[in-house]
Each structure stands twice: as structure tokens, then as C-alpha cells.
Amino acid sequence: MEYDFSGKVALITGAASGMGKLTGENVIAAGGKVIAIDITPIEETDSLCYANCDVRDYAQIDAAVKRGIERFGRIDFLCNFAGGDGIRILQGVRDFATVDPAILGWEIDVNLRAQLWFARAVMPYMVEQKSGVILNVGSIAGLKACGGSVGYSSAKAGAIFGLTKSLAQYGGPRGIRVNCISPGPVLTRAAMANMKTLLGRAAEPQEIVDLVMYLLSDKSSFCTGSNFTIDGGHVCLH
């Protein structure tokens, strides 16, 4: 086994699908337990506790974290995967002058505020343990200009820079590491195959989760406060 996460508990948002779901499967395969957070129901097992939670609501976040603690007693890893491009998900218009302001609000709430709020909710447990790893999820959209996704880009940029670096500064002396990944196109949706990269293809989700597993593990024990771009060279095209 490449990683041994026995005794470790990962709280994963957006755990019903895509990279969040795959991260949960990898953590359990490595011997760990998962507190799976999503608005979409997930089947519970001995190794997986599901908490229904809309990450836009702090009361639901607080209740979900407490439910996970009641079940597994600790939280070692926080993986903030819930998110996405609100204009795509809520079927809005790409033109910034006419986009529904509610969609822009959704993009900030899910892609930035929820990551901040989950960090706040798990921090007391990590501080008490004097250990923990927080993994924020950015995007190449937060590293470059995206005139057709201004809200999504703004939210992801906030997660990559202010949130990750400031939380890492708070966490460092307390034994808590905080990093961010910024994927390029990932084949959690077939349409991502159309996005250009230097490698001429999009990523398989497992290629991203391999980086996630490294960042959660002690193999990355000197990594904190950093963004890890994993995009097949997409940003080099711009």
C-alpha cells in the first residue's frame, strides 16, 4: 500500500461525485475513515459516515462536523471539493453585464465561503489534536483571467491565495498544514476533454487524487501555504 491512513479520518465535501468521491475511495482503500458531505445522499458503510449538508449554510456545516466527530471521534484531513462553475451548474448566461447576481453569489458562497467556513468548523478539533491537514480546491480559473466566469474565478483566486496562505500561517505553529490544488481540465465531465493543455489531453481524476493523497500524507510534511497547479501545462498556453 502506497499510503497508510489507518486511524485517520478525512472530512470531504462534494463527496458524492467526481474528485471528492474518488478521494474518499482512495482514503478508505488506504485504511482511513471518511466523513462524506454533500447535498446528494451517499450510502453509509463502516468506514463512511454521510452528513447531508448544504455548504452555503454554517449551521448545517457545524451539525455535519459534529455528526462526523460523534461517529469517528476526530478529523485529520479536510478536503474542500464542493464547488463548480455556477454559470454552468445553474445554467446562467456567461455575459457579465447580464448574469444573474444570485449566480455570482452562489459561486462565492460554494467555492470560497464554504471552504473558509469548513476550516473554521474543523479547526478546534485540529488545534486540540495539534495536527491536521487542510486541502483547499482552487482551479486554473483562479490563476488566470476568465472573463466568462468572473465569479468562479474570483472565488477560486480567494481560495488559492488569501484563504490558503492565511490559514497556513495560523495553522503552522499549531501543527496544521494547509495547501491548495488548482486543477486544469479533469474528466469528471466529458466536456473537459475540449480544453487545451500542453500535454494534449485532460486529466484522469485519479491523476489529481494522486496529488491529493500525497498532500494529505506525511510524505508532504514540509508543504504548507502553497498552491499546487496540476493542469498539464494549461496556464503556460496563456
Ligand X SMILES: NC(=O)c1ccc[n+]([C@@H]2O[C@H](COP(=O)([O-])OP(=O)(O)OC[C@H]3O[C@@H](n4cnc5c(N)ncnc54)[C@H](O)[C@@H]3O)[C@@H](O)[C@H]2O)c1
Residues annotated as part of the active site: 152
Which residue, 16 or 126, has its beta carbon nearer to ligand X? 16
HSE value, Cβ hemisphere, 13 Å, CA-based, for 24: 25
Which residues lie near ligand X (CB under 6 A)? 14, 16-20, 38-40, 53-56, 81-84, 110, 137, 139, 183, 185-186, 188, 192
Which phi and psi angles does 234 have, rounded to 5°?
-55, -45
Least distance to ligand X from the beta carbon of 189, Å? 6
Which residue, 68 or 83, has its beta carbon nearer to ligand X? 83
Measured CA to CA, the distance from residue 56 to residue 65 in angstroms comes to 14
Contact (CB, 8 A) for 235 and 160: no
Q: What angle do CA 115, 78, 12 make, to 5 degrees?
A: 90
Measured CA to CA, the distance from residue 85 to residue 177 in angstroms comes to 27
Per DSSP, which regions of 53-189 are E strands? 77-80, 132-137, 176-183
Which residue, 31 or 105, has its beta carbon nearer to ligand X? 105
Which residue, 14 or 151, has its beta carbon nearer to ligand X? 14
Which residue type occupies 238? H
Which residue, 29 or 90, has its beta carbon nearer to ligand X? 90
Least distance to ligand X from the beta carbon of 4, Å? 25
Which phi and psi angles does 50 have, rounded to 5°?
-100, 135
Q: What angle do CA 53, 135, 155 make, to 5 degrees?
A: 70
Task: Please report how the helices 114-129 and 58-72 are oriented relative to each other, as an axis angle in degrees rounded to 10.
Answer: 30
Q: What is the 3-state secondary structure (H, E, C) of 115-128?
A: HHHHHHHHHHHHHH
